[in-house]
Amino acid sequence: MIYVAEPDESRQIRGEILAEATTIERYLTDFISNYFAKDNEKGTELYNWIFNTELLTFREKIELCKKIIQNLKWTINGECRKEQVIGSFIFINEIRNKVAHWEWCWSKTTKEDYYLQNPRKNEEILKLDKELLEKYDQCIHELLQFFDVWEDDKTKEE
């Protein structure tokens, strides 16, 4: 049986996931802005007028990034990781949206098994188990590695 999670128990997990996703979105916004306007003044205007507003969702920024990186030549540790990077963006966005909008629940029997439940479709449940949280952490690492590579290797554009 599933019960609504106690606020203190869910706050830490929810806070960590949302904070990490927000950081990734900020890096993504910077990446896109720098790609389109390398000039400092125009880059700042682009960032402030478009990317740092609600005009573009995280998902729309991911789609822009997807188009940008398809045109770049770069590798991470000698390996082309374009599809993994895009997959990581999509996964982070999905989990972030569910964490932000779905109801938090926990198992009465273990009191440690956390779930997210879609408030509109009660049968739609996502278990926040160790495997899912590890995948989330791996995706965060993948994206942080991508942004480091981009910063260090801007000359490898096509």
Separation between Cα atoms, residue 157 and residue 15, nearest integer Å: 36
Model pLDDT, residue 36 = 78
d(CA 127, CA 9): 15
83: Cβ–Cβ under 8 A, 6 or more apart, which residues?
none
Rounded Cα distance, 125 and 118, in Å = 6
Strand runs labelled E in the chain: 2-4, 103-107, 114-117, 125-128
Higher pLDDT: 69 or 42? It is 69
Tokens of 116: 């997210």
Classify 157 as helix, strand or coil: strand
72 or 2: which leads in pLDDT:
72
Cα 8 from Cα 40, distance rounded (Å): 43
Domains of the chain: which residue ranges?
Answer: 9-94+132-156
47-95 pLDDT tens trace: 777 776 777 888 988 998 888 888 776 665 666 778 888 999 999 999 9
- Higher pLDDT: 152 or 71? It is 71
